[in-house]
Amino acid sequence: MTGNIRFRSSDDFREGAVFAVDKPSGWTSFDVVNKVRISLRGAYGKIKVGHAGTLDPLATGVVVVCTGKETREIERYMGQEKEYVARVTFGHTTPSYDLESAFDGEYDYSRVDGELLESVTRRFVGEIEQFPPAFSAVRVNGVRAYEMARAGDKVEMKSRRVEVRELEIVEMKMPEVVLRVTCGKGTYIRSLANDIGRECGSGSYLSALRRTRVGEFRVEQAFRVEDLVRLLENKTELNQHIN
């Protein structure tokens, strides 16, 4: 079993602990938090639990979880650099910019080659203006954008300034391209996938996403949910994973 738990004091989750979970596809970040909260309740009682940054349900990878007094540090963890491996598929677009919604456009991608893609991706490195997806947790007039989008309402999203520090083409087998992205807080990889397709004169969407790092928390050292649950319910085994 991989994974380490960093405690503020001994093995006291109420005093504060932080660790990374490898979120499976289909789970929300809140699902992870809720599972941790329930698992802790039996052995440790009611403890405050939160996560440091939402990861889309269809995505997998690092979700940083804080307990007890360490939840006061959530904003700091959220501000740390993130790394993703993203699969972008050309030929279609979707309203959500990923596979949460059905295709709403079909595009020719025959002119998209390595040279064009290299040129386009370079434009997205540095500080860029980005529109969050309408299917996102951003609040618009006090309402979550995804709630409005799912209800069929028109959502006017405002652009925001974000930073993409690295954007590397890992593999290109059209219509699919695999990218490695390191970025700052607030960057939407779904928007990046959509924007790259548009700038290539085609259309594309995010077909898979894995968050491999948040700050110093790497997916290789993250807990699988089932392992974490067993650990939290076994104080003896827990001692082996205290950092």
Instruction: Provide the annotated active-site residues.
Output: 56
Instruction: For residues 205 and 190, give the distance between their C-alpha atoms in angstroms, rounded to a whole number.
Output: 7
Which tokens is 125 given? 């490195």
What is the distance between the terminal CA atoms of the chain, rounded to a whole angstrom?
Answer: 14
Sign of the Cα torsion 16, 20, 22, 27 reads positive
User: Is the backbone peptide bond immediately before 175 cis, with ω within 30 degrees of 0?
Assistant: yes
The backbone torsions φ and ψ at residue 126, rounded to the nearest 5 degrees and listed phi first, read: 110, -160
